Chain A
Amino acid sequence: MDFLIPSTFAEALAIKAERPEVVPIAGGTDVMVELNFDHRRPTALLDLTRIAELTEWAPSENLLRVGAGVPYVRIIDELGDRLPGLAMASRTVGSPQIRNRGTVGGNLGAASPAGDTHPVLLACDAQVEVASVRGTRMIPAAEFYLGVKRNALEPDELIAAVHLAPAAAPQQFSKVGTRNAMVIAVCSFAVALHPEQGRVGAAVGSAAPTPRRALAAEEFLAGELSDAGLWESPKPLLDSVRRRFGELAAEAASPIDDVRGTAAYRRHALAVLARRTLGWAWQDYCGTGETRSQSCA
């Protein structure tokens, strides 16, 4: 097996064009597990950790451009105020060691249905910047996930960055695992309020072959909020609205029974998570939210 160490992104793209079968590696928190378990034997690894430009983030027009190699710990520490949803999801990733190494780019590359950041990227309308020697293109998160561990990358492409708008309103992320830290999601849920668009982004994770938006839940809530004029004069949401939102969110899932949980439990838990996270986000929007210290495991 070759270990290729490009020092610029252009060099990395050239290698990927020439040898599309090479497996890119950044933090290695997914790739090394696969190698150790002998699930794959790539002919070459493409080490992206020496490429400085991948580990930078910066404002880009109205958005924030977060390099694919920015580790979770920096998203938490440096972007927690502007990307609260992504930071919340990042806090639930593995252990401190994993958060020091793992990256959003890696989460996207692996495209596991259980990846922690996916629901947030969907709820926040993130765009994935992918590049090849042929050029650069932007893929909306909603079009990025194609199947279990399959994404929209062409064989010669690498993930360069994700673009997200700085949060203008509250966002929440929540995930269920059968341990209180360092656990893979049994199911997860993200919600992001977009008052400027008069809508709410909502997405489920680990409860379908891909992470997916909960469109019916989004539409229902958008209608309820605008009908009652709640964006302009926020008031606490009715219990019935939160409940219905939860039910619709759960219906977005196509869960399976597996070793981590049953399909029925996942549906049930998603309804609870959606109801609760919406409640917290909306309370914050109303300015009545309580403060909770946000800490990692």
Chain B
Amino acid sequence: MSKSAPVRTPTDLTSSVAGGIGASPQRPDGNLKVRGEFAYASDLWHEDMIWGATLRSPHPYARIRSIDITEALKVPGVYAVLTHSDVPGKNLYGLEHPDQPVLAVDVVRYQGEPVALVGADHPETARRAMERIAVDYEVLEPVVDMEDAAHGRGTPLHPGGNLVRHVPIRHGDQQVTAEVVVTGEYEVGMQDQAFLGPESGLAVPGEDGGIDLYVATQWLHVDQKQVAQALGLPLDKVRLTLSGVGGAFGGREDLSMQVHASLLALHTGKPVKMVYNRLESFYGHVHRHPAKLYYEHGADRDGRLVYVKCRIYLDGGAYASSTPAVVANAATLGVGPYDVPNATVDCWGVYTNNPPCGAMRGFGAVQAGFAYESQMDKLAAAVGLDPVEVRIRNAMHEGSLMPTGQVVDSAAPVAELLRRVKDKPLPPVNRTEPVDIREMPGGASNTTHGEGVVRGIGYAVGIKNVCFSEGYDDFSTARVRVQVIGGELSALAHTAACEVGQGLVTIMQQIVRTELGVERVTIAPMDTTIGNGGSTSASRQTYVTGGAVRSACQTVRGRLFELAARKLGVDAVGLSLHGGKLVSDLHGVLADLVDVLGDDVVDETVEWRHRATESLDPVTGQGNAHVQYGFAAHRAVVDVDVELGLVKVVELDCAQDVGKALNPEAVLGQIQGGSAQGLGLAVMEEIQTSGGKIRNPSFTDYLIPTVLDMPPMSIDVLELADPHAPYGIRGVGEPPTISSTPAIVAAIRAATGLALTRAPVRPEHITGT
């Protein structure tokens, strides 16, 4: 092929591939999901499969004297009944500390702890067999107080006692005093991720004695490792493939049915399906740590912070899960996005007999955010300043020092975010016109036609770390292949990074389109045939897996240029790819990539890491522990029926810096969803426990916001590029969850004049009855 004159200028060609970064192309799975045709893990089916079921402890804390499975085995249709003695490998697993039995041995530490498994020809057969398993329990007094657990009071539930981790942070002068001091005690209830697709998966025994596991999870490789250890198999005999995931929000980072189904499959030689129902799901995954927080803020008369002292307690429940990392987050982010010259922070995460708690969107930053933002409002009142003004006076900015000594080395537009939400027009107060009752507190239930309704406005801003912290080797692996299929240029992207609904599959397509100028991009099933993609959590996948895909594309591009240089006899320098064409800086379009490739396939795999972080000093809490910080601010406008204690959030506007919006629609979706989850924590979402038992394990009584609870949002998206991140992006998913809760509670305080130190706010907290 000879060189020809450019038919179009390179500038024109840049935009010739639709659906690249900065656009908002449709999700590849969008139509299927809207039509109800998308296959979730609970839809998995195998011809000769049997069903697995889990017998769980009814007690929060009990000794197991004996387990008798004789009668259960007699039930026709039962293939296997397994207990701890059937676990061939290590009967302990856990994300950071393996402390949780696959099946309980001689003690159960929470209500819902798995004790035995049944494999049967039908779920109902399995249920009937479970009723015939006789477990003799000696019920013990549960440990339920997190502060006692932190300070060595009460029965130790694990060999090392009940303290999982204590993180102290000592920053600046520890003896400093201030003219204005405000103190507060706060509580945050146990929130649930409330993902809609319950835990489910299918385990198929392999001919090699291994297992093929199809499962809805957030992190294939950490599952693989734990499953292999429990089964006593080498890693290569445990193969995982991601199935359709119906939401996660942190709740799928820990194992649920993975080992159980695999055990049954290996034991029976049959494919085993397990699907939790909603009730079991509430017992089958970790929740957000409930918290007790004690804060003292010292400031000068102008409201400038002199110091913050705080003690934060996080109840991790029966097993460690990700409690150590949640503790570090709550501690390092514990004073909020403010310049605090002196800080004394202590955060404890503990074991109790309450339900196990671990990862949930916001991950420790949510609990601290509720407390420090409540304190900032108190400080504003104490010094006679507007709540926004006191925040702006103390707002962190690029170059600020965290209490850990880490310098914030990219955009931190805290003041700007606050100004933006404050400057948005306020909705009118409508008390005279006939209005739709659905716009009132109580909504469709017809509780008020305006009587008792008072408006309130509240503000909050929050900070969240993005990616894994404290020296963790956080990376992702991506493989990109380019070839001609049916005469058409086609790219394939393959990772093990889990799509849980957030839109990573779309982002990966967009990156490949932009980097390679190839429009048709297929996303391979996510599985363990490729290296670790890391967890879909910590707002990290666009950053880390996006970074890996971009890096793989760059490698592929280099290979394509080499190929072109060889085939066309041109210099590999000064080439670029646009709209499926190979373009030279000097000579314009050289060739169609289809012709350059011919039958050749370019296929490259890379491992990509973000910049390294450091561990925290165990005594002073100093260290460059975090990769990146994300910020969001909210203004909440609420109408409160002060006589009934019912709340209608009228507006919940947000401003957030996202560095670069790779997919602007998806960014808005994340901000809306995160804000809604924060709204849930503000006014309704709580797993209520009593003596370690869950009182509301259903969507009848664990309420999540409906469309009548969540207002439409006005959202300002800032794009202040982070020079350290691919494309300048900043993790988006978590920051809006942090500031929405305190903004709404502040607005309720403004309407009612009440102190309201606990989230969620219940009607009786407002009515005082």
- Chain A positions within 8 Å of B, measured between CB atoms, are 33, 36-38, 88, 91-92, 172-184, 186, 259-262, 264-265, 267-269, 272-273, 276, 280, 290-297
Contact = CB atoms under 8 A, between A and B. Distances in A.
Interface stretch (B12-20, B315-323, B441-449, B473-481): B441-449
A181 B706 contact: yes
A176 B644 CA distance: 8
A93 B443 CA distance: 12
Nearest to B433: A290
Majority SS of interface residues in chain B?
loop
B735 interface: no
Contacts of B709: 179-181
A276 to B, nearest CB: 6
Given A37-B698, A178-B684, A293-B436, A262 B444 contact: no
A269 B441 CA distance: 14
Contacts of B646: 176, 178, 180
Interface stretch (B337-345, B669-677, B760-768): B760-768
B84 interface: no
B26 interface: no
Interface in B678-732: 683-684, 688, 695-696, 698, 700-701, 703, 705-709
B464 interface: no
Contacts of A36: 277-278
B438 A180 contact: yes
Interface residues of B, number: 44
Nearest to A188: B445
B446 A92 contact: yes
B769 interface: yes
Contact of B444 (A92, A260, A269): A92
Nearest to B649: A180
Nearest to A95: B706
Nearest to A91: B444
Contacts of B648: 180
Given A180-B708, A181-B708, 13 more contacts: A36-B278, A92-B444, A92-B446, A175-B446, A175-B447, A181-B707, A259-B695, A261-B762, A264-B769, A291-B434, A292-B437, A295-B436, A297-B443
B701 A259 contact: yes
B645 interface: yes
B760 to A, nearest CB: 9
Nearest to B647: A180
B614 interface: no
Contacts of B442: 174, 176-177, 180
B434 A179 contact: no
Contacts of A294: 437, 446
A292 B449 contact: yes
B127 interface: yes
20 contacts: A37-B277, A38-B127, A88-B446, A91-B446, A172-B446, A173-B446, A176-B763, A179-B709, A180-B444, A180-B646, A181-B707, A181-B709, A184-B700, A184-B701, A259-B688, A267-B769, A268-B767, A272-B644, A291-B434, A294-B446
B126 to A, nearest CB: 12
Interface in B339-363: none
B407 interface: no
B434 A293 contact: yes
Contacts of B443: 179-181, 297
A272 B705 CA distance: 25
A70 B649 CA distance: 35
Contacts of B278: 36
B444 A297 contact: yes
Contact of B706 (A33, A268, A295, A297): A297
Interface of B: 127, 277-279, 434-438, 441-449, 451-452, 643-646, 648, 683-684, 688, 695-696, 698, 700-701, 703, 705-709, 762-764, 767, 769
Contacts, number: 127
Majority SS of interface residues in chain A?
loop
A174 B437 CA distance: 11
A38 B697 CA distance: 14
B445 A180 contact: yes
Contacts of B436: 292-293, 295
Closest 8 CB pairs of A and B: A180-B443, A297-B444, A268-B769, A181-B708, A265-B764, A180-B708, A264-B769, A259-B695
A178 B444 contact: no
A49 to B, nearest CB: 22
B445 A183 contact: yes
Nearest to A175: B445
A174 B446 CA distance: 5
A295 B696 contact: no
Given A176-B646, A179-B705, A273 B447 contact: yes
B767 A265 contact: yes
B710 to A, nearest CB: 9
B451 A276 contact: yes
A276 B448 contact: yes
A38 B448 CA distance: 38
A278 to B, nearest CB: 12
B701 A295 contact: no
B447 A182 contact: no
A119 to B, nearest CB: 12
Nearest to B448: A276
Nearest to A260: B701
Contact of B703 (A37, A179, A272): A179
B709 to A, nearest CB: 5
A182 B279 CA distance: 19
B437 A179 contact: no
Contacts of B708: 179-181, 297
A40 B643 CA distance: 39
A282 to B, nearest CB: 13
A184 to B, nearest CB: 6
A296 B444 CA distance: 6
Nearest to B444: A297
Contacts of A290: 434, 449
A64 to B, nearest CB: 22
A297 to B, nearest CB: 4
Given A180-B708, A268-B769, A293 B437 contact: yes
A295 B437 contact: yes
Contacts of B683: 178
B763 A265 contact: yes
Contacts of B767: 265, 268-269
B644 A264 contact: no
Contacts of B701: 184, 259-260
A176 to B, nearest CB: 6
B703 A178 contact: yes
A180 B444 CA distance: 6
Contacts of A88: 446
Given A272-B644, A276-B451, A176 B445 contact: yes
Contacts of B684: 178-179
Contacts of B448: 276
A62 B278 CA distance: 47
Nearest to A177: B445
A292 B434 contact: yes
Nearest to B764: A265
B2 to A, nearest CB: 65
Contacts of B769: 262, 264-265, 267-269
Contacts of B706: 179-182, 297
A295 B764 contact: no
A261 to B, nearest CB: 7
Contacts of A174: 442, 445-447
A259 B696 contact: yes
Contacts of B643: 272
B336 to A, nearest CB: 29
A179 B445 CA distance: 9
A180 B446 contact: no
Contacts of A183: 445, 703
Contacts of A178: 646, 683-684, 703, 762-763
A272 B453 CA distance: 13
Contacts of B762: 178, 261
Contacts of A179: 443, 684, 703, 705-706, 708-709
